[in-house]
Amino acid sequence: MSDHGLHLQAIARVVSPYREKFGIPRQAGLVEAARGWLEMVPEFARPEAFEGLEGFERIWVIFGFHACEGRYRLRVRPPRLGGNREVGVFASRSPFRPNNLGLSLLGLEGIEQVDGRLRLRVSGMDLLHGTPVYDIKPYLPYADAHPDAAAGFAAQPPSPVLAVHFGERADAVLREQPGLRELIVQTLTLDPRPAYRKGQDQRRYGMRIEGFDVRWQVEGDRAEVEAIVPVGAEDAPGLSASD
Amino acid sequence: MSDHGLHLQAIARVVSPYREKFGIPRQAGLVEAARGWLEMVPEFARPEAFEGLEGFERIWVIFGFHACEGRYRLRVRPPRLGGNREVGVFASRSPFRPNNLGLSLLGLEGIEQVDGRLRLRVSGMDLLHGTPVYDIKPYLPYADAHPDAAAGFAAQPPSPVLAVHFGERADAVLREQPGLRELIVQTLTLDPRPAYRKGQDQRRYGMRIEGFDVRWQVEGDRAEVEAIVPVGAEDAPGLSASD
């Protein structure tokens, strides 16, 4: 084509615990407990296309920021700069970018075939549920790993900042949901609030993780999880509207 | 869209010393001397879109394998397996893949603006001249660098295998082309021949690098560069047709 355009078709769809944009970790690998699947579309649910991949510990996933599609900014405000300094979009991993392509390095936990379906079990996700995947490539340390590369304003990982505590009702829910506690702790400790909120803040926050609304407040350096409510059960007996 | 397709437009075009597919290094970073440019299309030749990028040593480039577009195989024969063992396309970085997307980690050598144009000077290229670029992202060591990740059949880099020597006529050309010698040496030492040719082989090989046809033969573990001919000058006096 004259514009060297390229039409992509999804080869897989993401099954993720993150059901809405708010709260998703800002890079892959920050929340190892964020496990899910890449569910191949039928055309590529072919075991021969994955032969040899089981020997790789990590995979690159090129995907579409489908919830931001068609929108971009030339300058963005990265959260790690406190949200008050702008950089160019190509100096960032912002989803609001030309072509809306994302790149995530995920842990490969397994390759599963059941009933003609094929899916990859992955960890360290920073992906919204339903994200379309356009490519999967093996991670090659000899080409891809440069631990000492200078990285401007993003040289250090964001550090965990909040201690996460669960109230009694939240704790009761977690006792019946193995794995969910670790996922919530790893997600909330990164403090997903927008940077401009990180001063004094009495606001209640909520995010969807798996089938639950997780609700918390921040007090100082603590995130207090007040409720973990099965989605659709908000009006169930014992939960008041003020939850 | 229902198929979660995505239409990409090129944001930049690659200016590379590699003018044909044969001989291009099989990963980025293997030939550091492979320097060139990412020439932004007018819409993105905007300095504000790159602010802060100068602090990063390396950049990810997502591009299209435009010379292989529309073709893919579910199983491929990686050169490093000697060309006689197949693996799945998603266990490889083969260009013959669904969606034909490539991913290269390049050195960022500079950002240049001249007369309303904007281009990034890059090194370590494994890209064909004219390649369309769809995204540029900063390399983040804390997320992207995992030197110890298991990597199956590709755990080690391909080792340089050939000693590169120049004949007298080739040497004379190189004296007037600073930088070209290093680029040819680093490219040919990787032995770009197809794996099935790597036994006894009296064949003459040629590849286009910048404006030259580079012609060599392999004898044992030596690549003998016999001629370096400016493209279009093949019939010039002193060069016989058998060159």
The verdict on B133 and B31 lying in the same domain is: yes
Q: Report the pLDDT value the prediction gives residue A33, as an integer from 0 to 100.
A: 97
Is residue B82 domain-shared with residue B171, that is, in the same domain? no
**Interchain contact, A55 vs B150, CB within 8 Å:** yes
Give the count of domains, chain A: 2
Q: pLDDT value at position B242? A: 35
Minimum Cα–Cα distance from A89: chain B residue: B49
Same structural domain, B226 and B208: yes
Domain annotation covers residue B237: no
**What does the alpha-carbon distance between residue B113 and residue B230 come to, in Å, rounded to a whole number?**
30
A 75-114 residues with CB below 8 A of B?
Answer: 75, 86-93, 97-101, 103, 105
Between CA B111 and CA B49 the distance in angstroms is 12
Of B46, B54, B88, the CB nearest to A74: B46
Q: Cα(B130)–Cα(B135) distance, rounded to whole angstroms?
A: 15
Q: Residue B200: what pLDDT? A: 66
**Mind telling me how many Å the CA of A120 is from chain B's nearest CA?**
11
Residue B241 domain-assigned (yes or no): no
- pLDDT of amino acid A236: 43
For each successive 10 residues of chain A (243 residues), what is the average pLDDT? 79 97 95 98 97 98 94 92 90 97 98 95 98 98 97 88 95 93 97 78 92 95 95 51 34
**What CATH number is associated with residue B112?**
2.40.30.70
Q: Which helix (H) or strand (E) holds A180?
A: helix A180-188
CB pairs under 8 A between A and B: 265
Chain A neighbors of B122, CB-CB under 8 A = none
B98 vs B242, more confident = B98
Question: Which of B100, B138, B151 is closest, CB to CB, to A140?
Answer: B151
Same domain, B19 and B88: yes
Burial class (CB in 10 A: 0-12, 13-18, 19+), A100: buried
Q: What is the ipTM of this complex?
A: 0.93
Given pLDDT bands bounded at 50, 70 and 90, which one contains residue B103?
A: very high
The token pair at B132 is 């369309």
Q: A126 to chain B: nearest residue by CA?
A: B143
Residues 210-239 in A contacting B (C-alpha not used; CB under 8 Å): none
Compute the nearest-CA separation of B238 from chain A (Å): 41
Which residue range forms the structural domain that includes residue B117? Answer: 12-154
**What pTM does this model have?**
0.93
Percent of chain B beyond pLDDT 70?
93
The Cα angle at residue B108 between residues B102 and B111, in degrees rounded to 5: 115
The radius of gyration of chain A from alpha carbons, rounded to an integer in Å, stands at 19
Q: State the average pLDDT for chain B.
A: 91
Query: Quick check: B235 pLDDT over 80?
Result: no
pLDDT at B152 over 60: yes
Percentages of chain B per state (helix, strand, coil), in multiples of 5:
20, 35, 45
State residue B142's pLDDT score.
96
Pairing, β A36-40 against β A75-76? unpaired
- pLDDT at site A2: 45
A195 and A143 share a domain?
A: no
Residue B171: the pLDDT is 96
Q: Are residues A120 and A93 in the same domain?
A: yes
Q: pLDDT digit string (tens) for B29-68?
A: 999 999 999 999 999 999 999 999 999 999 999 999 999 9
DSSP B19: -
Going by C-beta distance under 8 Å and a sequence separation of 6 or more, which residues neighbour residue B224?
A: B165, B167, B216, B217, B218
Residue A238: inside a domain, yes or no? no
On chain A, the residues whose CB falls within 8 A of the CB of B147 are 141, 145, 147
Nearest Cα to Cα of residue A22 among A240, A235, A204: A204
- What is the SS3 assignment for A125? coil
